[in-house]
Amino acid sequence: MLILLNIRFLRWSNTFLVKTCLSLPVPAREKTECFIWPILSKLIDEAIVRPESFKKTGVRTLIIYPMNALVSDQLGRFRRILGSEAFKNYFVEDSHATRVPHFGMYTGRTPYAGDAKLSSSRELASTYRDSYLVSPDADAEEQHRQELNIAGLKSINKYPARNGEDGLSVFVDNLEKNIHNPSPYDPELITRFEMQNCPPDILITNYSMLEYMLMRQREANIWDSTKTWLQESADNKLLIVLDEAHMYRGSAGGEIALLLERLFSRLDIGLDKVQFILTTASMPLDDMDSINAFFTGLTGKEKDQYALLTGSKEKTDDHILVSTDIDALASVGSEQTQNRSRD
pLDDT along the chain (343 residues), means of 10: 36 47 53 79 93 97 84 85 93 94 95 96 97 95 95 94 96 98 97 98 94 97 98 95 84 89 97 90 79 86 79 68 70 56 46
pLDDT of residue 62: 97
The whole-angstrom separation of Cα 37 and Cα 7 is 10
Specify the pTM.
0.84
Nearest to 71 by CA among 103, 42, 37: 103
Q: If you ran DSSP here, which 8-state letter would residue 296 be given?
A: H
176-56-99 Cα angle (round to 5): 60
- Residue pair 198/56 in contact (Cβ under 8 Å)? The answer is no
pLDDT of residue 217: 96
Amino acid making up residue 338: Q
- Give the strand pairing for 238-242 and 103-105: unpaired
pLDDT of residue 310: 73
The whole-angstrom separation of Cα 118 and Cα 300 is 45
pLDDT of residue 4: 35
The whole-angstrom separation of Cα 20 and Cα 120 is 42
Tell me the C-alpha to C-alpha distance, in Å, between residue 198 and each of 104, 151, 191.
10, 29, 11
pLDDT of residue 25: 47
The whole-angstrom separation of Cα 181 and Cα 137 is 28
The whole-angstrom separation of Cα 91 and Cα 200 is 17
**Count of CB atoms situated within 10 Å of the CB of 7:** 11
Give the rounded distance of the alpha carbon of 336 from its chain centre: 21
pLDDT of residue 284: 74
DSSP bridge pairs for 242: 64, 278
